[in-house]
Amino acid sequence: MTINALLLSSSRVGDTPYLAHAIPFIKPLTTQAQKWIFIPYAGVSMSYNTYLASVVTGLSELQLDISGIHQHPDPRQAIKNADGILVGGGNTFHLLHQLYHHDLVGLIREQVAQGKHYIGWSAGSNVSGLSIRTTNDMPIIEPPSFNGLNIVPFQLNPHYSNYLAPGHNGETRAQRLLEFTKVDPITPVVGLVEGSALWRQGDTLSLLGNQSAYLFCGEQQEIPIPAGTDLSHLLR
């Protein structure tokens, strides 16, 4: 078995319906995986049931069996029983805190390494890297560690945009990621623009969608990665 993980930048592109743009990316992972467990822990401002309902509706055309991990008395067993794992967006710190709280970090890492499919978006993609140190989110809660699932051995920055609003004097996203590379010049960061995704299949890593991604690593800053690029070298 090999890793099969889809890491989406976002759940929406522009004003499209929830997860609609991602259906073509998600579908190949669901042809032989029908039973999915959804992890809603990043959804702090809504109930987990509401979050689950939005995911079920958004993916309804794929006719999947999706349940929420909060509906199961034993979260670890729920992960083991599922064909695949869905991890939604929201607050990355709260997501990772709850994954540690329920002792799921090591389990998910092991299950995905053994071939269990993984699909994450936004915060669900953030936690799939080495750590959550390049998330955009406010640290509303302190997880035991910033270490992530290590499904990919680098950092992710979903929703990447270097837009600076007129009159705004805060740092741009690129400036924030420059700060990361100053304290950690070895670890690459991939900035994923909304509408794009990374798909890991074993030792192969592809950039999906029609948008460029951006690489930050050491002296390399905001280097465009054209759509469709093979990024397998980042796995080594």
Give pLDDT tens digits for 22-67: 999 999 999 989 999 999 999 999 999 999 999 999 999 999 999 9
Region 82-100: mean pLDDT is 98
Containing 86, the helix (H) or strand (E) segment is strand 84-87
Instruction: Give the contacts of 151 (CB within 8 A, at least 6 positions apart).
Output: 3, 5, 7, 109, 112, 118, 128, 129, 200
Tokens 């623009």 belong to residue: 193
Whole-structure pTM value: 0.97
Rounded distance, CA 122 to CA 156, Å?
9
Residue 224 pLDDT greater than 80, yes or no: yes
Q: Provide the annotated active-site residues.
A: 122, 137, 159
Q: Do 12 and 51 form a contact (C-beta atoms < 8 A)?
A: no
pLDDT of residue 1: 67
pLDDT in tens, 104-125: 999 999 999 999 999 999 999 9
Residue 176's SS3 state is helix
Rounded distance, CA 193 to CA 218, Å?
21
